[in-house]
Amino acid sequence: MPSLYETLRADIITAMKARDTATATMLRTADAAIQRASMDTGKPIDDALALVSMKKSVKNLIDARAEFEKAGRADLVAANTAEITVLEKYLPKGLDPAKLEALIVATIAATGATSKKEMGKVIGALKQLPEAGLIDFGAASKVIQAKLP
């Protein structure tokens, strides 16, 4: 099975052959972000690095889209939405809310957290789980705050 980065590179070539310049440009931008992250960290490109870069790119696009919506720029909102849609197909699906809540309840019990002051301990424990790559920590934070007194 090809790696995430190899799949991205193959899709760039496919988009170029299909003369789909918009998609090719979006994918090239993601490729450049991955290569930049590789050079910055001094590590070779692997799935973990590619995944972190893609998630960061999507998060930046979502933040920018929110700003464009506030400014009433429908053209830029549409462009960002299209780019987010293209990039999200390379990201793993996140955990559903029920499974996230179950993980949080188990982690709270395992860490023995009893107040919101110990929220950092719970999040630290969540980051050590194998499912950490699938967890949206913004949503997890809200659930943890609701569970802890």
**pLDDT confidence bin for 1, thresholds 50/70/90:** low
pTM of the model: 0.69
Residues 84, 103: one domain? no
Residues 84, 101: one domain? no
Residue span of the structural domain in which 25 resides: 4-88
Structure tokens at 116: 């919101």
Residues 68, 123: one domain? no
Residue range 100-121: mean pLDDT, rounded: 81
Residues 13, 83: one domain? yes
Q: What is the dihedral of CA 114, 115, 116, 122, to 10 degrees?
A: -20
Per-residue pLDDT, 143: 82
Residues 78, 37: one domain? yes
Residues 75, 107: one domain? no
85: CB partners within 8 A, 6+ apart: none
Q: What CATH number did the domain enclosing 103 receive?
A: 1.10.10
Residues 48, 102: one domain? no
- Expressed in angstroms, the distance from the first to the final Cα of the chain is 46
Per-residue pLDDT, 14: 94
Share of the chain above pLDDT 70, in %: 99
What domain count does the chain have?
A: 2
Q: Taking 90 as the threshold, does the pLDDT of residue 93 lie above it?
A: no
CB-CB neighbours of 119 under 10 Å: 16
Residues 57, 114: one domain? no
For 23-59, write each residue's pLDDT tens digit: 999 999 999 999 999 999 888 888 888 888 888 898 8
For 2-19, write each residue's pLDDT tens digit: 788 899 999 999 999 999
